[in-house]
Structure 1
Amino acid sequence: MKKARIRLGLFCFGFLAMMMHGWCQEGLPNMVMIIADDIGWDDMGCYGNQVVKTPNMDRMALEGVRFDNFYLTTSSCSPSRTSIISGRYPHNTGAAELHTPLPESILTFTQVLKEGGYFTAQSGKWHMGPAARNSFDLIYDKREEIGDGGEDKWLATLQERPKEKPFFLWLAALDAHRPWGPNDFSGMHDPEAIQVPVYLADAPDTRSDLAKYYDEIARFDYFVGKVEEELEAQGVLDNTVIFILSDNGRPFPRSKTRMYDSGIKSPLIVKWPKGITEAGAVSTSMVSSVDLAPTFLDLAGLDIAGDFQGKSFLSVIEKPDLPFRKYVFAEHNWHDHEAYERMVRTDHYMYVLNLRPSLSNTGPADSNASPSYRDLKRLRDKGRLNAAQADVFMQPRPFEEFYHCERDGEQLLNQASLKKYENELDHLRQVLAQWRAETHDTAPQNLTYDWYDKETGQALDVEQRRGDMPGGDAAMTTKAKGPF
């Protein structure tokens, strides 16, 4: 009943918006969100990576705005995407764990856009369950039609749109999710040229693993460029806002699923020829992925009221120097393995609370089956791990972690026990506690347990059943945003 009332209200508002704008392309901007799968924030040339080949995104960053402090709400594929489409934190969606569908009762920004007069389409990886499909006019998500990298129907989706309507496209790649498939870009990157992160093993198999990962990023970049070319050919590029981001960090140990920047920080490039006057600007303002939904609605001139927990950052797109958030929040729930972590970050500090400190934090199954993880295990078995490499095997783990992010950008030195930071640590404890209380976060005793072996990444011989998911009825209906 509640959703029916929302839909009726949106229809009325959308009708008025259409009457005011007269269905004019010039009055309403088009929007294209291009979302990568498992690409780390610093694995693009425009973010300082000197090896990976991303010429299209590098150029678009110079023609638009690059965001250097954009954070996801979780470093886990489907919960991250359902958080983006709903503008809500994972425990507020009813889909906090990997591979749980978004409930029908959760409002999505694409539904608001569709009922407000926009043509909405999705092409590529879906991963959000059946309910949200109704908010799209057109969907291409079958593996045989979207191709190995997920991008094969992107141009067709753009070409098949009705020309009399403004449009929103959700273009979702499979690149660069494991396993690596052979493609036209295979072999483009030299393993010997790669700078290996300190928390991985500097070994031939790891270097080869990273090179193949970079090859898939190059394919993603190629299709980003093709989308831009098609927009220009159709004469709508100037009035189209393009967002480029990722759903979580790279699929390597100590990255994907983790609360550090290597897992939770995402690239974000926004290009809008008609609306951005400071081309090549870099914004250091802190932005969360829950802020995307209200920003899309703000761009469309639609009412942002509703259940969205984020806030529009359209003002920052237009003026990149403007401050925005003081805090961003993230969570680590079940993704192949039992987990419960919560994180709050400021521009200076990061605090991580772990309510399953008895468990190791190796990463997801695909990462644990990787050559890079095998290299780490070989070092472990020889007693040769450095402190950063040993992190994924640590058991038990600290109950609390605290990092000075300005001095320790990779969050390698936990300073939660240092007296000189006790005031800052206590402040972030209180902020996180406030966020958890206001958004009705819960910590069930019966969480979903491990379904995969942490040593091999292979499925365990156990009944794959769900435990109790964080959040609940109150979490799914709250409009509370938490500290901002």
Structure 2
Amino acid sequence: MKYNRLFLCILIAFFAIGCKQKSTSKISYERPNIIFIMSDDHAYQAIGAYGSKMNETPNIDRLANEGMRFDKAFVTNSICSPSRAVVLTGKHSHLNGVRDNINVFDSTQQTYPKLLQKAGYETAVIGKWHLKSQPTGFDYWKVLPDQGHYYNPDFRTPEGIVQEQGYVTDIITDMALEWLDVKRDKAKPFMMMYHHKAPHREWLPAMEHLTDFKADLIAEPESLFDDYKGRGRAAKEAEMKISDHMGLSNDNKMDPKIVKSLGFEQFMGWYEGAYRNNLARMTEKEKAAWNKVYGPINRDFEKNTPRGKDLIRWKYQRYMQDYLACIKSVDENIGRVLDYLEERGLAENTIVVYTSDQGFYLGEHGWFDKRFMYEESFRTPLLVRWPRMIKSGTVNSDLVQNLDFAETFLDAAGVEIPKDMQGKSMLPLFEGNNQNWRDAVYYHYWEYPGIHAVKRHYGLRTKTHKLIHFYYDIDEWELYDLEKDPNEMMNLIDDPSYELVKQDLIKKLENLRKQYHDTDSLNQAILKSDLNR
């Protein structure tokens, strides 16, 4: 009897230890492969599955048609490096240490790739990294240095810098497929971060797509000529207007000599250098193809120079034509990866996620770039396909964030989620269960003073309202009714009819800041360190 009891105790202890490593979804399945696809600055407005009228994205749409489309997916900090650090750690910027594009990611800290690797996954990151430090937690890595280049790009590897010939989106996909087919250990489940540079500024299309949108007239957003009435200083003072801050040379591909001869002043001194550096990356054959397309555009601009609102419209069209052409390459290459999974019989048990590191302004409010908590940069596309778990063609309207990716991947793999991670596993949402889900998401942007001059701010969004506090050199609050004013044109913070709504949102915001440990004392310490930096 004594030995039977001892054996029973050992069995119970062993079972308890094993349970810790199981998925919280309470569903038994073979551990899935994970392909996490992230582009850079891909606005949801430019995806067919989200209703785009300006372009088609048939391969990205496959993920929506065969999986789940999230209509209320957001970031915690709308800028490249911080977004990537949040994804890796499952923690807000003030805790993972990357609040802006200047901070260096501490690669010794806990990340979901390290935890998956420890649990027996083969891991890889290929493409954009943009965190300055060397990737850790990966069995294989080959990443762009910093922002990287579109044409004939360099890549960082454990052995040093190597240059590849061709177009960056194609090359990243070639490397991803090579790793999947040849280099990985096929005895293990895998997790691959397949990350594109495109469609980041300066929107340089592949040679075969240079002319694809040049004859198109892209519909202008309603707020292209926004005068920012009804909002505070932050929107008025931001330096991301297509009219004043977009470069005719680097962004619109105009020869700097022509720009100068016509009396235009470049907003920033590096614009001309960026234009020439991009051309210098090309082979002679590529330069010839480039000049065949952009030469006539330059000559027409010189002959029929637009001014005033006509210039803004011209710049918008040029911007959007190149931006959409970059997305076309991303979509085609995602199709190559999806086809590979189908051909190798891997699609059924592979989670494929498509998202962007943040949203982007496609002329809304007269802007390009991101950073603000306003919807176009705060919201991001998110499409997830997992045939064994997600019903085809489903749409989710719950509030999710890039803060949730780490927890979701760990949960799907049956790996215990660390208690210090701040997001939530989305597995219950995959199954259609949104009980006890959050009713608000939190945001904090830090990079000011800095490029584009978007002031520091934090805030929250519910399904119906948004509250923002701009601070540092100003102290202004903004409140938006997203049901009545989805374009966020009128600040209601002083509207007496919204007093109860405002007080409720302020209380929610205070609670979220406590929940995520984003305190005023911490902010003061960070501000002091930033001033001394």
Range of TM-score over shorter length: 0.7 to 0.9
Deviation at 1:289, TM superposition (A): 1.2
Of the three residues 351, 356, 378, the one matched with 2:472 is 356
Is 1:162 paired with 2:185? yes
Letter of the structure 2 residue corresponding to residue 189 of structure 1? F
Structure 1 unmatched ranges of 5 or more? 1-11, 359-397, 449-464, 470-484
**2:462 is aligned with 1:408:** no
When structure 1 is superposed on structure 2, of 327-336 and 152-161 the one drifting more is 152-161
Match of 2:98 in 1: 95
**Which residue among 438, 442, 449 is the counterpart of 1:325?**
438
Cα distance 1:468–1:219, how it changes in 2: closer, same or farther (>3 A)? farther
One-letter amino acid of the structure 1 residue matched with residue 140 of structure 2: L
- The equivalent residue for 1:55 is 58
Q: Is the 8 A contact 1:444 1:468 kept in 2?
A: no
**Is 1:37 paired with 2:40?**
yes
**What is the aligned length?**
396
Partner of 2:514, secondary structure, is helix
Provide the residue aligned with 1:196 in structure 2.
220
- Is contact 1:403-1:415 (8 Å) kept? yes
Q: Is the 8 Å Cα contact of residues 359 and 381 (structure 2) preserved in structure 1?
A: no
Quickly say closer, same or farther: Cα 1:444–1:141, change in 2 above 3 A.
same
CA deviation map 1:241-284 (0-9, x unaligned): 101000012266265111111111000000111222x2101111
Q: 1:440 aligns with which of 512, 518, 528?
A: 518
Of 123, 148, 151, which aligns to 2:168? 148
CA separation in 2, counterparts of 1:243 and 1:57?
Answer: 10
1:138 to 130, 137, 140: 140
User: Structure 1 residues 191, 445: closer, same or farther in 2, change over 3 A?
Assistant: farther
User: Compared with structure 1, are the counterparts of its residues 172 and 327 closer, same or farther at alpha carbon in structure 2 (3 Å cutoff)?
Assistant: same
Does residue 85 (structure 1) correspond to residue 195 (structure 2)? The answer is: no
Provide the secondary structure at the position in 1 that maps to 2:351.
Answer: strand
Structure 1-normalised TM-score? 0.76
Pair 1:185 & 2:209 matched: yes
Q: CA-to-partner distance for each residue in 1:420-475, whole Å, 9 max, x for gaps? A: 11111112112222322341343338849xxxxxxxxxxxxxxxx95369xxxxxx
Aligned partner of 2:359 among 249, 255, 268? 249
Q: Kindly provide the amino acid, as one letter, of the partner of residue 518 in structure 2.
A: H
Aligned 1:203-352 pairs, distance under 5 A: 203-250=313-360, 253=367, 255-276=369-390, 278-319=391-432, 324-334=437-447, 336=451, 337=453, 339-352=455-468
1:46/1:345 CA distance change after superposition, 3 Å: same
Name the SS for the 1:203 alignment partner: helix
Work out which of the two has the higher radius of gyration on C-alpha atoms and give 1 or 2.
Answer: 2
CA offsets 1:34-67 (integer angstroms, 9 cap, x no match): 0010011222011011121201111221111000
Partner of 1:74: 77
Aligned mates of 1:192, 1:447 — CA distance in 2: 46
Match of 1:458 in 2: none
Helix, strand or coil for the counterpart of 2:327?
A: helix
CA contact (8 A) 1:44 1:53 kept: yes
Determine if contact 2:107/2:136 at 8 Å carries over to the other structure.
no
Measure the CA separation in 1 of the matches of 2:398 and 2:103: 32
Q: Cα gap change, 1:16/1:445 in structure 2, threshold over 3 Å: closer, same or farther? A: closer
Change (3 A) 1:56 1:104: closer
433-442 or 120-129, which deviates more? 433-442
CA pair 137-296 structure 1, distance change in 2 beyond 3 A: same
Give the partner amino acid of 1:467: L
Alpha-carbon distance in 2 for matches of 1:171, 1:104: 19
Asked whether the 8 Å contact 2:173–2:337 carries over to 1, the reply is: no
SS at 1:81's partner residue?
A: helix
The Cα of 1:74 is off from its aligned counterpart by 1.0
Q: Compute the displacement of 1:128 (Å).
A: 2.0
Residue in structure 2 matched with residue 387 of structure 1 by the alignment: none
The DSSP-based 3-state class of the residue aligned with 1:422 is: helix
Amino acid at match of 1:137: D
Amino acid at match of 1:411: E
Instruction: Identify if the C-alpha distance between structure 1 residues 71 and 162 changes in structure 2 by more than 3 Å, giving closer, same or farther.
Output: same
Q: Give the SS at the match of 2:342.
A: helix
8 Å CA contact 1:84–1:292 kept in 2: the answer is yes
SS in 2 for 1:351: strand
Instruction: Give, in angstroms, the shift of residue 154 of structure 1.
Output: 2.1
Alignment of 1:389-428 (within 5 A): 399-428=476-505
Aligned to 2:125: 122
Counterpart residue number, 1:456: none
Preserved contact between residue 22 and residue 414 of structure 2 (Cα < 8 Å) = no
Please name the residue that 1:454 is paired with: none
Normalising to structure 2: TM-score of the pair?
0.69
